[in-house]
Amino acid sequence: MATRRAISRAATRIQHARATVPTVHSVKRTRTFVTAHQPRPARQSALICKRQEDAHQQTRNYASSAGVSKTQLYDFHVSKGGKMVPFGGFLMPLQYSDLSIVDSHHWTREKASIFDVSHMLQHELTGPGAANFLASITPSSPKTTKPFHSGLSALLHPTGGIVDDTIITNLSSGWKERYYFVTNAGCRDKDLAFIQDSIHKWREDGQNGEIQWTTFTDYGLVALQGPLSAEILKSLKPTTAEKEPFSVDELHFGQCKYLHLADIDQPCLVSRGGYTGEDGFEISVPSSSSGANNTLKLTEALLQAGGESKVRLAGLGARDSLRLEAGMCLYGHDIDDTTTPVEAGLSWIIAKDRREAGGFNGSDTILSQLKSKKDGGSGVTRRRVGLIINDKAPAREGATITNEDGEEIGTITSGCPSPTLGKNIAMGYIKSGMHKAGTEVSVVVRNKARKATVSKMPFVPSKYWKGLSAGL
């Protein structure tokens, strides 16, 4: 019961701005085309807006004077009892009337849930300069990523700070370079400005290779997550772009494929992965030339395929507790413009071939941080860690972490009761040297120091699908 009350309080904070929701407008399709050899286009107010001044206001300042948008599933959410709240510039479901947030969390871990993530912005970069351009603003190695494989990355400032985290997918075929990536809704304005400015600099520096940048604001994005996800997707009898039958068992974590689903008039890009730590899929749904709501069509087909005993709708509340158990960062909280990948425990996103060559935004700072001072580098003074709070009171964002002498050594960035573990968990930044798993610290909650233990993440083991032989 204490866990339910604590999550309910968190849910209340999530919707704190809903009383001042401005006029709602529907999502429209916008495409921006920029090449390295063409004059820079004028910024369109619908696409490139004023930069947000404070990264900490981007994700959980749910109402905005700029207006709130709807995804393709808004009316559907309302009809299904969705409790709608402003989030990242969109009205999104916090939860649904049939399940509490805790019950929805458990349902996802045990069965399957459908999340509407259409508020996130989908991008595409094409042209002979696409890979080199991406390599200049991220620590990834786009050219060495296998076709139809994806990986976590980060858009980086020249300082090494994280503009946003993103998943980059190589969709190149033969000689044609093509990359698909998804960015956070709360960072939309600054991401668009950052990419636009980066392309402009790329051109001014005389870099070779034409670039075409496209954003798909009318595409849907649906996440099917949980151990029954594959079974449910198989029920739709997916076929390839060539209309050949395809088993999703062939699709491993981090891989993707264009598949025809639910009689949608165009193939969907189906990627195996997600933001919960469970097996699952993220499905990019193209808009229909006939005006049909393809995202709604797919969502209804998935619900019908699984039935109420296997699959339910889930909202932001469950998504947040699931991702925290999985040890995944939430931008604007666990990472921001001031955080480098090394500090954030994301050194693994820096491709091996980039660790020597560098050449990406912030590489001098970041590569120096990879080495300790005794090895000729700078190291880091803080590190992101997981924490188990050994107390009934959950630690929330902003809570102070102290050592045994009561000295401040860090700050909590995310925290909640873990429905799976029945414990209070958190992540935050802590002074280097105190970051090793098992280190005993305290977290100040309600003016009282509560015992806590530094923990490895994820808190709950990941269950990504890596093939039938992966566990043998």
Q: What is the DSSP string of 406-433?
A: S-EEEEEEEEEEETTTTEEEEEEEEETT
* 95 in Cβ contact with 315 (< 8 Å): yes
SS (H, E, C) 180-191: EEEECHHHHHHH
β-strand partners of 66: none
The one-character DSSP state at 356 is H
Residue 12 has φ and ψ, to the nearest 5°, of -65, -40
Q: Identity (one letter) of the amino acid at 266?
A: Q
Handedness of CA 85, 329, 116, 194 (dihedral sign): positive
The Cα–Cα gap between 444 and 387 comes to 13
Residue 282 annotated as part of some ligand binding site: yes
| Residue 277 CA neighbour count, 13 Å, CB half | 23
Closest Cα to residue 448, out of 397, 414, 402, 417?
Answer: 402
Q: How far apart are CA 125 and CA 140, in angstroms?
A: 15
H or E element, residue 303: helix 294-306
Q: How far apart are CA 396 and CA 55, in angstroms?
A: 18
d(CA 194, CA 41): 15
Look-up of token digits 């993103």: 166
How far is residue 178's CA from residue 251's CA, in Å, rounded to a whole number? Answer: 20
Three-state SS string across 81-148, please? CEEEEEECCEEEEEEECCECHHHHHHHHHHCEEEEECCCCEEEEEECCCHHHHHHHHCCCCHHHCCCC
Annotated binding-site members for substrate: 282
Annotated binding-site members: 282
